Amino acid sequence: MAQSTLALGVEAVGCAGFDAGIKGAFGYPGTPSTEGFECVEALIHAAADGRVAQWAANEKVAYDLALGVSFAGFRTLVTMKHVGLNVALDAYANSALTGVHGGLVLLVADDPGMHSSQNEQDSRSLASFAWLPCLEPSTVQECYDFTLRAFDLSEALQVPVMVRLVTRLAHCRAPLDRREALAPTGLGPVPAAQAQDWVLIPSNARRRYEDLLAKQPRLLAALADLNRSVPGPSRRGVALAGMGRAYFHQLALEHPELRDLPRLELAAQPVDPDLEAAFLATVDEVLVFEEDYPLVETRLGLRARVKVHGRMDGALPRVGELSPRLLKAALGLAPSMGTPAELDLPVRAPRFCDGCGHVDAFEALQEALGNLGATAQARVFGDIGCYTLAAQEPLSALHAVVEMGASISMAVGAALAGLHPAVAVIGDSTFGHSGLPALLTAMDAGADVTILILDNRVVGMTGQQPSQALDQVERMVLGMGIPEASLQVLTPLPRHHEANVKAVAAALQQPGPSVLVFRRECIQSLRRGVLREHDRNEKAERASACCTLEVQP
Amino acid sequence: MSALRIHGIVLSGVGGQGVLSLAQIVLEALRRSGFHALQSEIHGMSQRGGSVQAQVCFAEVPLTSPILDEGSADLLIALEPLEALRHVAMLRPDGHLVASEEPSADMAGYPPLEDIYRALKAVRGACLLDTEDLARRLRHPQAGGMALLGMASRHLPVPEAVWQAVITERFAAKGERVITKNLEAFAAGQGLVPARAEA
Ligand SMILES: Cc1ncc(C[n+]2csc(CCOP(=O)(O)OP(=O)(O)O)c2C)c(N)n1
Ligand code: SF4
């Protein structure tokens, strides 16, 4: 039954995945992509018809899970934020060569303006890097329609298809009309005749790469109707992609004169060069509105006759997200002005929730370093999560925060270069995401590092999803070869402060890698009861097993 | 080819105050009143007490831009006085401001309250509410947001029955008492602002 609801842009992608009849949805949380997975997860759970929605340990795992579903002959959706695609890039780029069997759609949410990310890289460039198609919706309804289309394209062309959103669209809530949901239909696994396509030994890979390149004209043809050139009487034109399209269309409602401008409207890449050439032949100059990197701008700029304006010539700022205000300025429309308050307004920075255990852990670390007289020499390598807030005042406890998993490896590298004390601070989810292999190397290198794993049992920062490392952290640490004597489990609570300071000091003085697990559940997940059922089941299980098994601490 | 008027509302506050939930009520109410409406939200890490902002745009034709330009909002609904000031530049000269007087001052460098109130009262069309006092009188700690919405409703083209229905549905899962309490807070807010001539 078709239905109309209100949905966020990312949720519309999730709904479309469900309605397209996916068998499995996978992802790793990351703003602003998280709600896309959560939406399809809720639909799949409600349907209770044997489909799966599974958070993965990281984005690469999520992507490979999806590729496995595709291999098995079913449709599948995988979701991540832009920097997550770096982690999944090996899988993504190589799946271009294997191709897909069941339709595979990748939702990537970019974050121009860095509302909640460490960079503003443009996923469209990774799609062209992999020779794969990318659809770029500009409204919530398009998020849905394009995702459905992406599944058809994926199966018709036998390639993974990316649907790229940006923060403003991902978190735009608007009415959504859904179509009737399809049930998953299986094609059966990749047939024997094609088995070699999926085995990327060099002899096959060379052939598959040629196949991928040979597919490119078909790809252009299949996407052709998503890109169009709209003529107009003016010799000044605009090229619009993604939110550039959305903002321009709305401005044209308020400023009818804009409807005279010839437009190149792009919703999918690769773009047919003939379409761009034909458009450029009708104008003398063109203003390009696209989100993030100047990709369309650079491409159009290669054609010498036409003057191209955008981020490269200062018509728009080089960095940051587009906005209606920036479009207006570039188009020469009078800015609308408001009256700001006549008062200096301090920024209201995010901070730790009252009572958050991370604060207790950092206080213990800082006091232990102080007691050892090591505050000045010590360097603390942080990671990505709520605990990154410790970089700011009053704690000012972190010297580096780069990307997920970097804390342990950077501390090991620095320690191998002679820096002491070298401390790593990493959350439990990030530890499961990419800290594990780093710990294996720390062990192998025998590096003199102290590693704090802040185990709040959830992915705090992205909305308290249960952590994949839930109840497993010590076993994971021991499994990487850390001796029991070098592992301590502590409770970050004010009343344990003295004991924690002593434990941290001992670990700092002990040669070789040592690990301190600070375990206390996130205040927010406790309040919401995220793990209540899990803990109840766990307790019941332990009660029934305790007569025969010795319980591990 | 004629120009079209697009209406805008900005809602602001601090993480945890319910800005986004209020925005969703407004969005749904406008939609049911026959408008095309969009909502956008920006909330980096809102559960940890940062600034939160949502915007709602509506018009008689389908819209595509979820964000407003400075000086183009008809209405600013602020759940906290400093967070009201942060967004007053979004208001049109003939816009309206409804804001709570109750500070969330748990941060570095919070300006003196009297400066904040002075700056707020200088805004044309400002209507301030002592939400703390109202919450006490109604014996409903969360009354503030709903009362501000009641005040704001005087400036929005939404029929009374639609407000009643949307608020009732929003709190349906929490039981009859919660619904009544919220409708009561909404009505209290409405009572503080005279009805629009055309409403
Ligand atoms: C590659 C990548 N994927 C996802 C994210 C989004 N993200 C930021 S922090 C975080 C995990 C935080 O969990 P944890 O390490 O347990 O720390 P907590 O927030 O619970 O303190 C995620 C998923 C990211 N920044 N980079
Ligand atoms: S959400 Fe949880 S982990 Fe994050 S600051 Fe709050 S209590 Fe700490």
What's the pLDDT tens digit per position in B53-97? Answer: 999 999 999 999 999 999 999 999 999 999 999 999 999 999 999
Q: Say which residue the tokens 């950077």 belong to.
A: A410
Query: Cβ contacts (< 8 Å) between B64 and chain A: which residues?
Result: 138-139, 245-247, 249-250
Ligand 2 neighbours by CB, cut-off 6 Å: A 352-353, 356, 358, 386, 456, 460, 522-524; B 47-48
Digit-coded pLDDT (tens) for A457-479: 999 999 999 999 999 999 999 99
* Cβ neighbours of A449 (radius 10 Å): 32
| Nearest-angstrom CA–CA distance, A121 and A368 | 39
Question: Is the torsion defined by CA of B111, B115, B117, B122 positive or negative?
Answer: negative
Structure tokens given for B176: 């009859």
Q: Is the pLDDT of residue A496 over 60?
A: yes
Task: Provide CATH code, domain A3-223.
Answer: 3.40.50.970
Spans of chain B, pLDDT less than 70: 1-2, 43-47, 196-199
CA of A26 to the centre of ligand 1 (A): 16
Range A57-75 average pLDDT:
98
**What is the value of pTM for the model shown?**
0.95
Rounded mean pLDDT of chain A? 95
- Residue A552: band (very low, low, confident or very high) from pLDDT cuts 50, 70, 90: very low
Amino acid making up residue A484? E
Query: Cβ contacts (< 8 Å) between B49 and chain A: which residues?
Result: 348, 350-351, 353
pLDDT for A549 equals 46
Range A2-26 average pLDDT:
93
Mutation site for B-interface testing, chosen from A240, A345, A387 by largest number of B Cβ within 10 Å: A345
Q: Where are the domains of chain A?
A: 3-223, 227-331, 357-535
Do the Cβ atoms of A369 and A399 come closer than 8 Å? Answer: no
Taking domain B7-104+111-190, whether its CATH number is 3.40.50.300 is answered by no
Query: CB contact, 8 Å: B115 with chain A?
Result: yes
CA of A42 to the centre of ligand 1 (A): 22
Query: Cβ contacts (< 8 Å) between B71 and chain A: which residues?
Result: 336-338
CA distance B195 to chain A (A): 26
Query: CB contact, 8 Å: B97 with chain A?
Result: no
pLDDT for B41 equals 86
CB-CB under 8 Å, A343 with B119: yes
Q: Is the pLDDT of residue A192 over 80?
A: yes
- Residue A551: band (very low, low, confident or very high) from pLDDT cuts 50, 70, 90: very low
* Architecture category of domain A357-535 in CATH: 3-Layer(aba) Sandwich (3.40)
Question: Is the torsion defined by CA of B114, B120, B126, B129 positive or negative?
Answer: negative
pLDDT for A11 equals 98
* Cβ neighbours of A12 (radius 10 Å): 32
Q: Is the pLDDT of residue A348 over 60?
A: yes
In terms of DSSP H, where are the helices of A391-435?
406-416, 428-430
Class of domain A227-331: alpha beta
Q: Say which residue the tokens 């085995």 belong to.
A: A199
Integer angstrom CA distances of residue A176 from A3, A73, A146, A300, B195 = 8, 29, 13, 34, 33
Q: Where are the domains of chain B?
A: 7-104+111-190
Cβ–ligand 1 distance for A459 under 6 Å, the answer: yes
Lowest mean pLDDT among A77-81, A302-306, A324-328: A302-306
pLDDT for A137 equals 98
| Nearest-angstrom CA–CA distance, A353 and A274 | 55
CA of A389 to the centre of ligand 2 (A): 10
CB-CB under 8 Å, A324 with B65: yes
Domains A3-223 and A227-331 share a fold: yes
Which residue in chain A has the smallest CA separation from B71?
A: A338
Chain centroid to CA A518: 26
Query: Cβ contacts (< 8 Å) between B25 and chain A: which residues?
Result: none
Do the Cβ atoms of A422 and A445 come closer than 8 Å? Answer: no
| Ligand 1 atom at shortest distance from the alpha carbon of A117 | 25
Q: Is the pLDDT of residue A412 over 90?
A: yes
Nearest CA to ligand 2 atom 1: A460
Q: β-strands A422-427, A449-455: how paired?
A: parallel
Percent of chain A with pLDDT over 70: 98
Residues near A123 by beta carbon (within 8 Å), at least 6 away in sequence: A82, A85, A108, A110, A134, A162, A164
Q: Is the pLDDT of residue A550 over 50?
A: no
Query: Cβ contacts (< 8 Å) between A250 and chain B: which residues?
Result: 6, 63-65
Query: CB contact, 8 Å: B111 with chain A?
Result: yes
Candidates A174, A340, A350; nearest CB to B89: A340
Candidates A171, A255, A352; nearest CB to B3: A255
CA of A31 to the centre of ligand 1 (A): 9
| Mutate-to-test residue for ligand 1 from A35, A117, A433, A461, highest number of ligand atoms within 8 A of CB | A461
In terms of DSSP H, where are the helices of A385-494?
406-416, 428-430, 436-445, 473-479
Question: Is the torsion defined by CA of A81, A86, A91, A96 positive or negative?
Answer: positive
Which residue in chain A has the smallest CA separation from B32?
A: A175
Beta-carbon contacts below 8 Å between A and B: 155
Candidates B4, B70, B109; nearest CB to A338: B70
Digit-coded pLDDT (tens) for A415-444: 999 999 999 999 999 999 999 999 999 999
pLDDT for B19 equals 94
| Nearest-angstrom CA–CA distance, A382 and A400 | 6
pLDDT for A391 equals 96
ipTM of the complex: 0.94
- Report helix, strand or coil for B171: coil
CA of A133 to the centre of ligand 1 (A): 28
